[in-house]
Structure 1
Amino acid sequence: MQNRRIIWVLFLIYFTFAILLNSVGTVILQVINNYGVSKSAASVLEGFKDLPIAVVSFLVASFLPRIGYKKAMLTGLAIVTGAALAMPLLPSFATTKVLFLCVGISFALVKVSVYSTLGLVAADRRQHAGIMNTLEGFFMVGVLCAYWVFSFFIDSADPRSQSWLHVYWVLAGLCALTFVLLLATPFDERLAAPPEARSLPQEFAAMLKLFFKPLVCVFVLTAFLYVLIEQSVGTWLPTFNNEILHLPAAMSVQVTSIFAACLAAGRLSAGVLMRRLNWYPVMNACLLGMGAVVLIALPMTHDVVVAPGAGWRDAPLAAFLFPLIGLFMAPVYPGINSVMLSSLPKHQHSAMTGLLVIFSALGGTTGSLITGYVFGAFSGHFAFYLTLVPIAIVLVTLYFFKRAVDGSDGGLEAPAIISQ
């Protein structure tokens, strides 16, 4: 099997999980309307998604090469297919929690497997960075599609309508199709095995030892803070559009798709640029751009007046300007991930990805909970202004990350030869 076919299957898997994972902001808005839960109660959905990602990654990442990346991805797809079918069959807030619990468990298996498989097909550090950005770009295309697919099923005229649950029939079918395509795609995982035979406790201990390397410590802190920022914005932007900018519910979700579109465009473009440019100045420019958007766009969201039933032409300028922060966010996460992974030998990619997934999940949950609390206790404006704090900290941690990378040895080995 050629490497290109493997990569396209991985892209489809990531696209599928993007829709499921990043629907949480839309679902929070719907469960508030449908089930009468508070904002703080609804914000726990992020935890039901992210905490299982962290726990499962911690438990299985070190010995996932022994299980097999393909088997892990198939298991994850099977789990989310069943969970998606349960949503319209057993509609309740409890079922919604179970859905995101299953999505979190499955994504832990999938992300570690996908990232580790990329290490098998990339020839060098720059190609790895290009593929990683393109992969994350496809992820954001999935997020973009999610906003429009969900909004198609939302009845803005009746906030209590449960018609939005029918979207899960479509998602269950997509998961099942992806399962079949992956099942029909063979590939060789032998290069993922460690050079020496180790027991499960030894492999688990090796993953923990990774964390104490200075390079890894700075990296996971940077990843944690970045995901905190992205999830803070992505999860609560539909509610911000609805309550602060006074847009209709369906349109609030649709406008949020601009944020996803910017992330997708930025990452797909970065997939080409990162093959040619040094990653460090690109990352710094992106972070400064993020801060500039916050400072320019948020003052425009005060005292906005929008007529009931407003359309796209009636939306305030801030509704289109603030989501542009996604263009600057886009290259940061896949960029630092690629730099980190390509600094390690292939057999350590699974363990390193496990640590990455753990701290990314914790960052996502922390960001959503903090933003949800501040949004409810103070205001949506103040909640989004707070993103300037982690942006400033990431600028500092990136400097130390670069110093640690420059002082480390390693890099990607030769690409794997994938079987027919």
Structure 2
Amino acid sequence: MLSFLIFSMLLNSMGVIILQLSEKISYKGLGVLESFKDIPMAIVSLFCVNLIAKTGNKNALIFSLIFILVSCIALPLVDAFWFFKIWLSIVGVSFALAKISVFSIIKNNFQDKQLASSISSVDASFMIGIFFVNIGFGSLLTSSFSEYWKFGFWVIAVLSIINILMLKPLKIDEIKISNTEKKSGEWKFFLNLKIIYFFVIVFFMVFVEQSFNSWLPSFFRNNLKLNSYFALQASAFLALFSFFGRLINSRLILRFHWFKLVLICLFTVFTILAICQIIISNFYLDYKFLLIFLMPLIGLFLAPLFPLYNAEVLNKVPKEKTHLLISIVMICSSLGSSVGSLYMAGVFHKNLSNFYPIFILFPLLIIFGLTFFLNKTTITYDRNQQE
């Protein structure tokens, strides 16, 4: 949970970076910046599976935290835009190692509804990390030390040290795969329809989350004319509601079927987005203050979706396939994040941000349709493939 909190603060500092650099760099240029994180993340996710299998999940997680520790110390000391690209590449590579490791640890130690509950709890810490990074940097940017805002990343470096010291003595049950050579039919398993639907859903889920987490502060500043501090606080409350959404979901999944929870969440998100668009289009001057409360509230119902989809498929996949599954999830996530950021950069560049809720609604409708197919299909697994 602490590992996910740390990486959450790093990955979601993009909202802060976009706000701080938007006066010097165009939105079009900032939209491309996200790719420096996502493309290395996708590449490493594909090729680090065997490495993690050999070294073990705990060691891979510790390595990723060491990379983060060094990069966060260096960031404030290099005053150049190009270093943000290198730093984001390091963040992407490290998160790829960390996520595959963490989810594999969960898969090896939990099963069924307990697995779903554990994933929701860990993902909840991811959302509280977004809250902390927005509150922390928002406070720093409005203080007399605002010019030193990049030194806020040293706090994340300290948390990384604490996390490494906590992980070192731990004994974690894990399955080390000794034979990491590719077997015939290894990839054929992932051509199952249910898994393909899942990968497409992952792409669009991260697409939507990226549109909120990185671009909501810019929407509040550009359209609601809030200053940087209040724009970040609105985004922080989106993360806070998301944290409670995932925390509540970690309990509800023990009692209710995942499909029912997904439908309730999606219908509620659709309703809130529709209300927000109606206010923007027809009652903007009179009720724009409602948007400050309504849009962050979406996190309460949007955030539980990703853990629910993850748990549904991860429960059905054999342990020996976990590393490879999560690596492909990371690739889909990376692509979704990059495309989502480019998508929103285009919306803001073309001055179409008045239709911000509508542009978010489109990918959610695709997710809604694919959810029915995901629920009705099953995963078939031929164990003889491994023999």
Whether the TM-score (by the shorter chain) exceeds 0.5 is: yes
Distance in 1, Cα, partners of 2:338 & 2:144: 31
Asked if the contact 2:189/2:381 (under 8 Å) is kept, the reply is no
**1:106 has 2:94 as partner:** yes
User: How far apart are 1:263 and its partner, in Å?
Assistant: 0.8
Residue 409 of structure 1: CA displacement?
6.6
Q: Does 1:142 align with 2:129?
A: yes
1:60-99 residue pairs with structure 2 within 5 A? 60-99=48-87
Structure 2 residue identity aligned to 1:200:
E
Contact 1:156 1:249 survives alignment (8 Å): no
| Partner Cα distance (1:274, 1:199) in 2 | 34
Contact residue 155 and residue 163 of structure 1 kept, 8 A:
no
Secondary structure of the residue aligned to 2:205 is helix
Residue 10 of structure 2: aligned partner: 20
* Matching residue of 1:182: 167
Aligned-pair CA distance for 1:360: 1.1
Give the fraction of aligned pairs with identical amino acids, expressed as a percent. Answer: 29
Residue matched to 1:418:
none
Contact 1:238–1:252 (CA under 8 A) maintained in structure 2: yes
- Of 43, 56, 60 in structure 2, the residue corresponding to residue 55 of structure 1 is 43
SS of residue matched to 1:120: helix
Q: Report the TM-score when normalising by structure 2.
A: 0.93
* 1:168 match: 153
TM-score (norm 1): 0.86
Amino acid at match of 1:180: L
**Secondary structure in 2 matching 1:385:** helix
- Which digits, 9 at most, give the CA deviation of each residue in 1:59-116, with x for residues without a partner? 1125522221111111110111111111111122112122111110000000000001
Question: 1:57, 1:354 within 8 Å by CA — same for their partners in 2?
Answer: yes
Report the equivalent of 1:129: 116
Give the partner amino acid of 1:26.
V
Counterpart CA distance in 1 for 2:231 and 2:96 is: 29
The answer for the alignment partner of 2:25 in structure 1 is 37
- State the partner residue of 1:292: 271
Give the Cα separation in 2 of the matches to 1:252 and 1:326: 16
Residues 132-180 of structure 1, C-alpha deviations (whole Å, 9 max, x = no match): 111101110111111111112113799xx53211201211111122122
1:372-383 matches, within 5 Å, as: 372-383=345-356
1:284 deviates by 1.3
Query: Runs of 5+ in structure 1 lacking a partner?
Result: 1-10, 307-313, 411-420
How far does residue 211 in structure 1 lie from its aligned partner after superposition? 2.7
Work out the CA distance in 2 between the residues paired with 1:174 and 1:198. 35
Whether the 8 Å contact between 1:51 and 1:361 is mirrored in structure 2 is yes
Q: Which amino acid aligns with 2:92?
A: G
**SS at 2:25's partner residue?**
coil
How far off its partner does 1:182 sit?
A: 1.3
Q: 8 Å contact 2:235–2:296 — kept in the other structure? A: yes
Point out where structure 2 has 5 or more consecutive residues left out of the alignment. 383-387
When the two chains are superposed, the root-mean-square deviation of aligned CA atoms in Å is 2.2
Structure 2 distance, partners of 1:63, 1:185, is 21
CA distance, structure 2, for counterparts of residue 69 and residue 114 of structure 1: 7
Given candidates 333, 345, 354, the residue that maps to 1:360 is 333
| Deviations 1:306-365, CA, capped at 9 Å, x for gaps | 9xxxxxxx9812111111111111211001101111101111111111111110111111
Q: Contact 1:287–1:395 (CA<8 Å) still a contact in 2?
A: yes
AA of the residue aligned to 2:311: S
Maintained 8 Å contact 1:57/1:109:
yes
The alignment covers a number of residue pairs equal to 381
Please list, as runs of the form range in 1=range in 2, the aligned pairs for 1:302-321 lying within 5 A after superposition: 316-321=289-294
Contact 1:192-1:347 at 8 Å conserved across structures? no
Equivalent pair of 1:144/1:257 in contact (CA under 8 Å):
yes
Question: Does structure 1 residue 202 correspond to structure 2 residue 183?
Answer: yes
Q: Structure 1 226/199 Cα, relative in aligned 2: closer, same or farther at 3 Å? A: closer
Deviation at 1:226, TM superposition (A): 1.0
Spell out, residue by residue over 1:367-396, the C-alpha distance to the aligned partner (whole angstroms, 9 max, x if none): 111011111113212243111111111111
How far the C-alpha of 1:304 sits from its partner, in A, is 5.3
